A and B are shown apart, each in its own frame.
Chain A
Amino acid sequence: MTTQVAVTNALEVSELRVHTLAGSPVLKGVSYAIAPGEVLALVGESGSGKTTAGLAALGHFRRGLAPAGGAVTASPRDGEPVDVLGLGERERRALRGHTLAYVPQDPALSLNPALRIGRQIAEVLEAHGYGASGEERAARVAEVLGEVGLPADENYQRRYPHQLSGGQQQRVGIAMAFACRPSVVVLDEPTTGLDVTTQTLVLRTVAALTAEHGVAALYITHDLAVVSAIADRVAVMRGGEIVECGAAEEVLRRPAHAYTRELVDAVPDLDGGGGLPEPDGDTETLRVTGLSVSYGEHRVLRDVSLTVHSGECLLLLGESGSGKTTLSRCVAGLNEHHTGTVELAGTALAPSTRRRTAEELRAVQYVFQSPYSSLNPRRTIAQSVEVPLEMLTELPKAARRERVAETLDRVRLSRTLAGRLPDQLSGGERQRAAIARALVTTPKVLLCDEVTSALDVSVQATIIDLLCELRAELGTAMVFVTHNIALARHVADRIAVLRGGEIVETGPVGDVLSAPRHEYTRELLANTPRM
């Protein structure tokens, strides 16, 4: 970018340093600038300081953090550039929402559940004295709702947030941010938690609004695929510093910094992957027939059937609410309210773990989505990994210890971490420990429920590699539950697409990805952002 002249930039952050109150640095001199109408993506993994750097643009610092040098300059639409950090709290608040706007991560948490959405948007306008009269403000509310692609009529404005879908809620959040015609908008991972189709819609809305109204947008995200879809420029952050900054196309195609390259390589790509071990495929390990689950009138699963062979990986793909977790929990024996049968190598399994034999329990193992909640915070890693052996085998203590140590080696987790508590480990290490717990009984079927969705991309890549290696080593049949179709070629041999509790399409990965038969699969593929 050559247009680095101070006057043209809507937002300029220079040499910003932020320390914790204890004095350890969080940002070590971060500089970036955004021109009107431009989208700058601030990319980084958890702990890189991207959120701190983004919120600093609003003059906001989370509790426990304080600025320690540098400047943030924002240019309102009509007026002189303002030094945001030099202002008092009262002036800063006046600036926020008016000149600097913010779109939070989770719209469900940030909208007031007791206020109708029209009222909620009007409140922003009133707080900042936008417009001369009530009618003018009402007109602006209708206009901004139209701009984000929502119906602007009275009826719609009278809805409460819970009557909207996640994507609609997020667009209301965006409408609130754009209501006062700000010159800078900070978006904090606004599409995390939305399914891909909705994500595409929200991204388009943001792109259109920023271009149309000449708003400078700072888009904080960890998802490089999203970056390529929306950003003009990218700043890659690591350890409180910007390691690379440039045009999005340039940075993603030809990363100059080693870390950026690492990140780009770790992103699962729809077309990438391959080179998976060939499953031996002759023995049918898991067979699910006619599985249905309903809670009252609501049917979560309808007559689902699938099979997995030994050494094979089935990708169970579905959006939130598709019933994919319910399905895997039924197989694991954690959900006993189902009809239909789950067979393990020809023998039917009882619906509840309480009535399964120790051998059956050892054979089917489950890895939970979030390693932050699946390990007891008050027990050490070794203790947690030992539990299945303790409950399901007759092994003496010494033999159990030995098995735990072997399994920790197997998941490439240092034995020195065995005595630690979960909160002393990183997310990736915790997930390895959780996988070790599932593998310690050498199961025949391993159910992985969104095991990478709580992890950073580079960690996700290592966990997926690990799972693939283990599958080849142990010949375990694997069911990999996910919402991310981009992972398909990286982990799975076959795909089953779950929608509204029904399997709408199933087949080998290559076939499904290259020639999807069902409308829904086609839509998913079209909306998945590619690098």
Chain B
Amino acid sequence: MTTQSTVFRRALSLPQAKIGLALTAVVVLLAVLGPWLGPWLTGYDTTGFAGKPFQSDGVAGTDGLGRDVFTRFLAGGATLLLYAVLATAIGVVLGTALGMLAGYTGGRLDSLIMRGNDVLLSFPQLVFALLAIAMLGPQGWLLVLVIGITHAPRVARVARQATVAVKDSDYIKAAQLYAMPRRRILLREVLPNITGPLMVELGLRLTYSIGYVASLSFLGLGIQPPSADWGLMINENRIALVVEPWGVLLPVLAIAVLTVGTNLITDSLASAAAGREKEVAA
């Protein structure tokens, strides 16, 4: 698909995309390889005791229970990243499907889907997640599902708008002329032509997912102790911020770098897609 690849190529030619890609790659590598690297580098595992609590032993000292902070930091990104990616995938797939259906069909179904969307949108995402977790307990699948579902209406709005913009094109009319079933029209004729705005939405939702998973863990409602997790680590170590800052600073830095990185990529994708639209209009 050449048009697709030109969007990526043009996005990559922007300096901010390169920076974003580098930042994201560093954190993702760290999170993926960290669980294996940690014990090998430091000699401790994530729950093993390395010494007295809040001491400056090792690379980054020990935490409140005397575990090695650096090992836990290396191991703490994998779950966070996995949850965030899964939640984003659920949100984007669900939202795209609903949005395209609403935009293409129009009429009553459109109103039904979009007003239902508005109801969901009126809950703050984090509050909605808190509610579900308070009712069903902090479980990984629930975290992913709730964050995914709260993403869906936001993605759906974008997908609907993009679908409405292309649905009156002659090539859609041509497909109708050949009595192509609706599902096929949506998948083959509409979807490939709205990937630009959807890619932007994908990046944006990923950034938010990372933030939400980390926030919920920090609040003690996400990933549970004793497993190592960046959000959780910030909470565990914040009382000793002045004495032993690394337990807080390392995870904060990692999350910040990751979100800034994904945001930069998204931004450059957005401007590349907008540039393409401008070209088409000209």
Residues of A bordering B, CB below 8 Å: 332-334, 353-354, 356, 358, 361, 365-366, 368-370, 373-379, 384, 387-388, 391-392, 421, 423-424, 437
Contacts and interface: CB of A to CB of B under 8 A. Distances in A.
Contacts of B180: 387, 391
Given A378-B3, A388-B178, A392-B179, A373 B170 contact: yes
Contact of B179 (A379, A391, A437): A391
B2 A421 contact: yes
B188 A353 contact: no
Q: Which of B2, B171, B174, B188 has the most CB of A within 10 A?
A: B174
Nearest to A392: B178
Given A387-B180, A391-B180, A421-B3, A368 B173 contact: yes
B176 A353 contact: yes
Contact of B174 (A354, A377, A421, A437): A437
B4 interface: yes
B169 interface: yes
A375 B179 contact: no
B188 A379 contact: yes
A378 B175 contact: no
Interface residues of B, number: 20
A333 B180 CA distance: 13
A387 B2 contact: no
Contacts of B178: 353, 361, 387-388, 391-392
Contact of B170 (A353, A374, A423): A374
For the complex of A and B, 6 pairs with smallest distance between CB atoms: A378-B192, A374-B170, A391-B178, A368-B170, A376-B171, A373-B170
Interface string B177-194: 111100000001100110
Contacts of A424: 2
Contacts of B179: 353-354, 356, 358, 361, 391-392
B1 interface: yes
B173 A334 contact: yes
Contacts of A358: 179
Given A334-B176, A353-B179, A387-B180, A373 B3 contact: no
B174 A379 contact: no
Given A361-B178, A373-B171, A377-B3, 18 more contacts: A334-B176, A334-B177, A356-B179, A361-B179, A365-B177, A366-B174, A368-B173, A373-B169, A373-B170, A375-B171, A376-B188, A376-B189, A376-B192, A379-B188, A388-B178, A391-B179, A421-B1, A421-B2
Nearest to B182: A354
B177 to A, nearest CB: 6
A425 B273 CA distance: 21
Contacts of A437: 174
A373 B176 CA distance: 15
A375 B193 CA distance: 12
Interface in B143-200: 169-171, 173-180, 188-189, 192-193
A378 B2 CA distance: 8
B193 A378 contact: yes
Interface of B: 1-4, 169-171, 173-180, 188-189, 192-193, 280
A506 B193 CA distance: 42
Contact of A378 (B1, B173, B177, B280): B1
A379 B177 contact: no
B163 to A, nearest CB: 14
Contacts of A366: 174, 177
A365 B178 CA distance: 9
Nearest to A329: B173
A131 B156 CA distance: 56
Nearest to A368: B170
B197 to A, nearest CB: 14
A333 B177 CA distance: 7
Q: Which of A368, A369, A378 has the most CB of B within 10 A?
A: A378
Q: Which of B175, B179, B180 has the most CB of A within 10 A?
A: B179
Nearest to B173: A334
A437 to B, nearest CB: 7
Contacts of A421: 1-3
23 contacts: A334-B173, A356-B179, A361-B177, A366-B177, A368-B170, A368-B173, A373-B170, A373-B171, A374-B173, A375-B171, A376-B171, A376-B192, A377-B171, A377-B280, A378-B1, A378-B4, A379-B192, A387-B178, A387-B180, A388-B178, A391-B180, A392-B178, A421-B3
A442 B23 CA distance: 57
B104 to A, nearest CB: 15
Q: Which of A373, A376, A392 has the most CB of B within 10 A?
A: A376
Given A378-B3, A378-B193, A421-B3, A368 B174 contact: yes
A361 B177 CA distance: 8
Nearest to A366: B177
Contacts of A365: 177
Contacts of B2: 421, 424
A370 B170 CA distance: 8
A354 B176 CA distance: 8
Contact of B171 (A334, A374, A392): A374
A332 B175 CA distance: 12
Contacts of A361: 177-179
A375 B192 CA distance: 13
Contacts of B3: 377-378, 421, 423
A197 B173 CA distance: 32
A369 B179 CA distance: 20
Contact of B193 (A374, A377, A392, A423): A377
A358 B177 CA distance: 11
B88 to A, nearest CB: 23
A61 to B, nearest CB: 15
A334 B171 CA distance: 13
A420 B169 CA distance: 20
Contact of B177 (A353, A369, A375, A423): A353
Nearest to A371: B170
A128 B177 CA distance: 54
B176 A376 contact: no
Contacts of B189: 376
Contacts of B1: 378, 421
A387 B2 CA distance: 20
Contacts of A374: 170-171, 173-174
B183 to A, nearest CB: 13
B21 to A, nearest CB: 25
A379 B280 CA distance: 16
Contacts of B169: 373
Nearest to A367: B174
Contacts of B176: 334, 353
Contacts of A387: 174-175, 178, 180
A442 B96 CA distance: 37
Q: Which of B176, B178, B193 has the most CB of A within 10 A?
A: B178
A150 B169 CA distance: 37
Contacts of B188: 376, 379
B193 to A, nearest CB: 6
Nearest to A360: B179
A374 to B, nearest CB: 4
A387 B172 CA distance: 12
B96 to A, nearest CB: 16
A334 B173 CA distance: 7
Nearest to B195: A378
